[in-house]
Amino acid sequence: MIVIERILTTEEVSLFRKQLADAPWLDGKQTAMGMAASVKNNNQADANDDVVRQLANTLLAKFGSTPKVVSAALPHKIFPPCFNRYGISEEYGFHVDAAVMRIPGTNEVLRSDMSMTTFLSEPDEYDGGELIIATEFGEQQIKLPAGYAVLYPSSSLHKVTAVTRGERVAAITWMQSMVADGSLRQNLYQLDQTIQKLISQGNTARSELDQLHNVYHNLIRQFTQL
């Protein structure tokens, strides 16, 4: 799991929330696939609405221009973000995201390697509503500030606990990575982050940084699947 800090500013979050408040919302079960539909109890903004589509495109552009997202996911395809809303007693039980998804309005399909939740409500606006992700180290509980996002493997069992006060609004999306192997992708992310840290510290010789860059990009070239 990788936390993406401040993918949206406070002002941008406020604009999203204001526009979403006036958007048409649908029963979330309509967009769930297979067994997930039986445990999904929330609302989802109508993806066919012009305002909702514009917000999704804005957020999509943010993903593509956020270095940490690119470094962690190495995205090849990104599903248009969907906006969901949980009121009191609404929840989404344990489920796994569909392995293959059709991108709306196209004939293209996407293999879901990484899932991402972008929080649009502040933690003190609601009780409950935690994102729970089952990992080999146990269940991880996530509740981030508005404008923050968390990126995690789509293969993970996960759920959103019932909201007991207030309202939880978030955006979700899925990404097909250029590197299908999750362990390799994680190693590439760690290598890239180390390179970026060395660059920011400013005390590593350029020739050494060039060697690290060479290794990093050659690994991507070797394992990329397009």
Alpha carbon of residue 79 to chain centroid: 10
Judging by beta carbons within 10 Å of its beta carbon (0-12, 13-18, 19+), is residue 145 exposed, middle or buried? middle
DSSP 3-state of 64: helix
Q: What are phi and psi of 161, to 5 degrees?
A: -70, 160
158 in a labelled binding site? yes
Q: How far is CA 99 from CA 91, 102, 134, in A?
A: 22, 10, 17
CB 33 within 8 Å of CB 95: no
168 assigned to a ligand binding site: yes
Please report, for residues 32, 86, 143, 187, 190, the alpha-carbon distance to residue 42 in angstroms, rounded to integers and kept in the order given. 11, 5, 17, 36, 35
Answer yes or no: is 95 a known binding residue. Answer: yes
Annotated binding site for 2-oxoglutarate: 168
Binding-site annotation: residue ranges for Fe cation: 95, 97, 158
Residue numbering of the annotated binding site: 95, 97, 158, 168
